[in-house]
């Protein structure tokens, strides 16, 4: 049938062919005019569609995360009542930063707010999961925090999407559309973190803690600050204080406070402080690569970093940093093999730094920073 | 949205793609007719219609592809167990309750303490040349 139509078409007179040609010309001109006039509107609609697609995925992640928190609490904590309403209330939890108009004492105020938040979240989890032990409470708190982050991300993206749709403002939509790939990567990392936290698996952020754990294994430990342990070891003929958060529950501890206490206790007679932490790699760098530097390699809101900088500057203690590189998607998901290999290299780097920068008999501090979930000591 | 399922294409976009496909096929036939009757090749028509056909086929395939993952997939996680005294080492799948430096029995070689040395997941990535 198609062949017949083609043959008929071939036998049509040239005038009819010209008419068809004109129709096509007209269609092209009309398309050009439409794009010229409504180009930005079409682009806006397409961008909104892209955001909508991502929003659907973010909602699925948020809902799945919420469900995982509820089922984890039910499974581990054996609560007497349904925790759903309480989880929903906690997922809407907000932290209000301290006022910065008068920056005097802001670190102390920020630390207080962080402490109150941590205490409140753990206390809520403890009440929801009465059968859970301390490690499980810490892990469940981490699960809850990951679900909370997914909820916040979803709500922020939805806010910009709806605002853009309402105002049809190209620039509001453009802002969110431009950073959408990064937001999605971060959300996928949190989604992946939920499973790791539920199962208590070590995460990429715990690379520093793993270095410290390997160094202090089999030695006596004591609690030096909240959720933070220290061990005195002999390393390369030097006395080394090794610090890490108390595991294997999900904790970051207070390494800043611990370092401050040790430096003050030794009255500043510390030959070197080495801080080992996971650091975000640049695109193209390999995960698990190790880099060295100077300064305080402690992430987070800055309270611990500030404390170490203050005390180190007061006593003129040299600060070295050993960084284990990883991508944003690896920070909160189960530790990759490359990062475990990076930990081995970081230990060798720490030993080399001590040999090259201190003398036998000196005292050094080695602090492994990061969430110690799935890593004991 | 169902994880792992095939994405359902929106009807509007599907209609636009089908219209584009039909129009580009028509344009290609016209170019063919012109060649058969007048022995002239309408290069512009041919290029535009072929690229429009390619674009619509590509969009149709894209619409039917599997959706990207949400990040909740179960990963293969390994637990490495080592003896603190000798060089005995074994690798098994991660079990709930495992954590690094957990003591997990005695060594079959030297009766020393076995502990979990590391827990990790393996990710296969393409080798980059830059």
Contact A143, A68 (CB under 8 A): yes
Question: Quick check: B96 contacting A, CB < 8 Å?
Answer: yes
Taken in order A297, A300, A302, A303, the sign of the CA dihedral is negative
| Contact residues, A window 203-242, toward B, CB-based 8 Å cutoff | 210, 213, 217-218
Q: Does residue B129 surpass a pLDDT of 70? A: no
ipTM: 0.84
When CB atoms are compared, the residue of A10, A24, A199 closest to B96 is A199
With an 8 Å Cβ cutoff, are A195 and B75 in contact? yes
Q: Going by C-beta distance under 8 Å and a sequence separation of 6 or more, which residues neighbour residue B2? A: none
The two tokens of residue A120 are: 């409140």
Cα A325 to chain center, whole Å?
A: 13
Phi then psi for residue A99, to 5 deg, are: -65, 140
Q: Does residue B124 surpass a pLDDT of 70? A: yes
Place of tokens 């080394």: A240
Question: Quick check: A299 contacting B, CB < 8 Å?
Answer: no
State the pLDDT at residue A78: 87
Domain boundary assignment for chain B: 11-64, 77-121
Return the number of other C-beta atoms located less than 10 Å from residue A213's C-beta.
26
Of B72, B71, B76, the closest CA to residue B94 belongs to: B76
Confidence band of B17 (pLDDT split at 50, 70, 90): confident
The two tokens of residue B2 are: 């169902």
Sheet with A272-280, strands from edge to edge, namely A221-225, A228-235, A238-245, A363-368, A272-280, A319-326, A290-294
Question: Quick check: B72 contacting A, CB < 8 Å?
Answer: yes
When CB atoms are compared, the residue of B32, B84, B100 closest to A376 is B100
DSSP string, A174-238: HHHHHHHHHHHHHHHHHHHHHHHHHHT--BGGGHHHHHHHHHHTTS-EEEEETTEEEEEEEETTE
The two tokens of residue A341 are: 């290999």
Of A317, A282, A319, A312, the closest CA to residue A297 belongs to: A319
Bridge partner list, B80: B91, B118
The two tokens of residue A277 are: 């932490």
Of A340, A322, A345, the closest CA to residue A330 belongs to: A340
With an 8 Å Cβ cutoff, are B100 and A64 in contact? no
With an 8 Å Cβ cutoff, are B37 and A10 in contact? yes
> A340 contacts in B (CB within 8 Å)?
118, 120
Question: Quick check: B33 contacting A, CB < 8 Å?
Answer: yes
State the pLDDT at residue B116: 95
Domains of chain A by range and CATH?
45-199 (no CATH), 204-368 (3.40.50.1470)
Phi then psi for residue A299, to 5 deg, are: -85, -155
> B94 contacts in A (CB within 8 Å)?
199, 201
> A289 contacts in B (CB within 8 Å)?
none
Contact B31, B41 (CB under 8 A): yes
pLDDT in tens, chain A (377 residues): 555 555 555 555 566 667 777 887 888 888 889 888 988 888 888 899 889 999 999 999 999 999 999 999 999 888 888 999 999 999 999 999 999 998 899 999 999 999 999 999 999 999 999 999 999 999 999 999 999 999 999 999 999 999 999 998 889 999 999 999 999 999 999 998 998 999 999 999 999 999 999 999 989 999 999 999 999 999 999 999 999 999 899 999 999 999 999 999 999 999 999 999 999 999 999 999 999 999 999 988 899 999 999 999 999 999 999 999 999 889 999 999 999 999 999 999 999 999 999 999 999 999 999 999 999 98
When CB atoms are compared, the residue of B70, B97, B123 closest to A336 is B123
Cα A219–A224–A230 angle (5° rounding)?
25
State the pLDDT at residue B4: 43
When CB atoms are compared, the residue of A61, A199, A335 closest to B120 is A335
Of A183, A167, A185, the closest CA to residue A48 belongs to: A167
State the pLDDT at residue B5: 45
Picking from B91, B99, B114, B127 by the largest number of A CB atoms within 10 A of its own CB, the best residue to mutate is: B99
Superfamily name and number for B77-121? Ribosomal protein L30/S12 (3.30.1330.30)
């Amino acid at each position: 049938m198609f062949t017949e139509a083609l043959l008929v078409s071939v036998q049509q007179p040239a005038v009819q062919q010209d008419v068809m040609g004109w129709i096509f010309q007209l269609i092209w001109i009309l398309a050009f005019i439409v794009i010229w006039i409504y180009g930005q509107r079409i682009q806006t609609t397409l961008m909104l569609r892209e955001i909508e697609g991502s929003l659907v995925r973010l909602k699925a992640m948020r809902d799945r995360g919420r469900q995982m928190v509820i089922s984890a609490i039910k499974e581990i904590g054996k609560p007497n009542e349904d925790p759903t309403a309480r989880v929903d209330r906690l997922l809407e939890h907000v932290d209000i930063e301290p006022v910065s108009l008068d920056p005097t004492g802001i670190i102390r105020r920020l630390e207080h707010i962080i402490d109150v938040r941590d205490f409140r979240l753990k206390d809520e989890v403890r009440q929801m999961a009465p059968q859970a032990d301390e490690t499980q409470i810490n892990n469940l708190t981490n699960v809850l925090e990951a679900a909370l982050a997914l909820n916040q991300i979803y709500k922020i993206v939805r806010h910009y999407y709806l605002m853009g749709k309402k105002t049809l403002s190209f620039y509001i939509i453009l802002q969110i559309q431009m950073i959408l790939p990064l937001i999605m990567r971060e959300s996928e990392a949190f989604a992946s973190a939920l499973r790791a936290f539920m199962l208590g698996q070590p995460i990429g952020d715990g690379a520093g803690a793993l270095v410290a754990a390997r160094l202090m294994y089999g030695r006596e430990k004591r609690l030096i600050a909240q959720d933070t342990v220290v061990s005195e070891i002999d390393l390369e003929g030097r006395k080394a204080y090794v610090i890490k958060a108390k595991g294997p529950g999900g904790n970051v501890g207070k390494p800043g406070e611990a370092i401050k206490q040790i430096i003050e206790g030794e009255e500043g007679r510390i030959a070197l402080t080495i801080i080992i932490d996971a650091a975000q790699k640049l695109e193209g760098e390999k995960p698990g690569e190790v880099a060295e530097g100077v300064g305080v390699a402690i992430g987070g809101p800055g309270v611990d970093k500030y404390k170490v900088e203050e005390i180190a500057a007061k006593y003129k203690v040299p600060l070295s940093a050993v960084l284990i590189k990883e991508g944003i998607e690896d920070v909160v998901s189960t530790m990759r093999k490359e990062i475990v290999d990076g930990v081995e290299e970081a230990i060798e780097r720490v030993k080399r730094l001590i040999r090259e920068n201190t003398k036998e008999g000196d005292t050094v501090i080695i602090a492994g920073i990061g969430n110690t979930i799935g890593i004991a000591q | 949205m169902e994880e792992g399922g095939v994405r359902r294409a929106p009807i509007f976009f599907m209609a636009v793609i089908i219209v584009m496909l039909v129009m580009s096929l028509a344009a290609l036939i016209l170019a063919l007719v012109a060649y058969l009757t007048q022995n002239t090749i309408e290069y512009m028509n041919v290029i535009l219609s072929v690229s429009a056909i390619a674009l619509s086929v590509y969009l149709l395939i894209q619409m039917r592809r599997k959706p990207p993952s949400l990040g909740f997939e179960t990963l293969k996680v390994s637990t490495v167990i080592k003896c603190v005294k000798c060089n005995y080492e074994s690798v098994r799948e991660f079990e709930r309750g495992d954590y690094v430096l957990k003591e997990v029995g005695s060594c079959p070689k030297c009766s020393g303490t076995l502990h979990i040395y590391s827990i990790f997941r393996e990710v296969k990535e393409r080798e980059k040349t830059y």
